[in-house]
A = this chain, B = another copy of it.
């Protein structure tokens, strides 16, 4: 692999050999229901806490992705994972019994793109088989970042709904499948701060980061948005997507609106499911990419996808202290 500008290119593109996206009840009632690998009606997963339920869901997604790749945990070099819970406990308790060397990541809602990017670079460098993954849970996020569930706080129109779900993908040097998804290049983003302080408008905090990373990626690869069947963002939602179009047009004269979609707007029916600006959380892009999108690619309906997941880098403490919300975005070029 070699770097050009801010993008790492793979001469021998790593391959996605297995993947799985699993979700909770509400997500299972949305438009992508038929493509999820599992829908859990009981989102407690039989656990004693919502936090352990999130771990159980991530564990499930990883096991399904490995099974889909016909790999056992003992064949995996590294698992790369992170989540939104304090000290990434969602991943710690999901991975602790898997007996796989673990690289903990933190990228907030950008984690699926971050784990795919770093995982691909490790395979590009010398690892044989790695697993990328991430998770989020509405109930564990809500009480950590916002209010106790019982409080029933009102949400402004720009607020998003944290997805209960997890995604995982197995990345290897090669695959025997003909229609395997390849990782052609990855762009790791830098932290961008536009001074947004409204924790109920994370789309606005993340959109400038997405715009910056998309611009760098297109520039380094010499491609245009129209060269991709889909430019897929993670969880900008309705508000953030509109801002992305504006920033890209104004700052870089780039128009992505015609072939852009956002996992946060795809996973729910925005009109019927009362989720305001759309879905969010690491599990949003994790579950949508690793089920619906990757299935569409393997079925030949999508050939070339630019996946850009964004993260809002905030904690309850940083927000209460009046700090801004820096954003980050990482891009992954997927192609069949």
Contact = CB atoms under 8 A, between A and B. Distances in A.
B105 A2 contact: no
A120 to B, nearest CB: 10
Most chain-B Cβ atoms within 10 A of its Cβ — which of A49, A77, A318? A318
Nearest to A323: B93
A104 B105 contact: yes
Specify how many copies of this chain sit in the oligomer. Answer: 2
Given A315-B89, A323-B93, A78 B188 contact: yes
A196 interface: no
A128 interface: yes
A69 interface: no
B3 A127 contact: yes
A321 B49 contact: yes
Given A49-B321, A107-B104, A317-B85, A92 B326 contact: yes
Interface string A91-103: 1110111111111
Nearest to A126: B1
A311 to B, nearest CB: 8
Nearest to A100: B190
B328 A102 contact: yes
A302 interface: no
A8 B125 CA distance: 10
Interface of A: 1-3, 6, 8, 48-49, 51-52, 77-78, 82, 84-89, 91-93, 95-108, 114, 118, 121-122, 124-128, 144, 187-193, 313-318, 321, 323, 326, 328
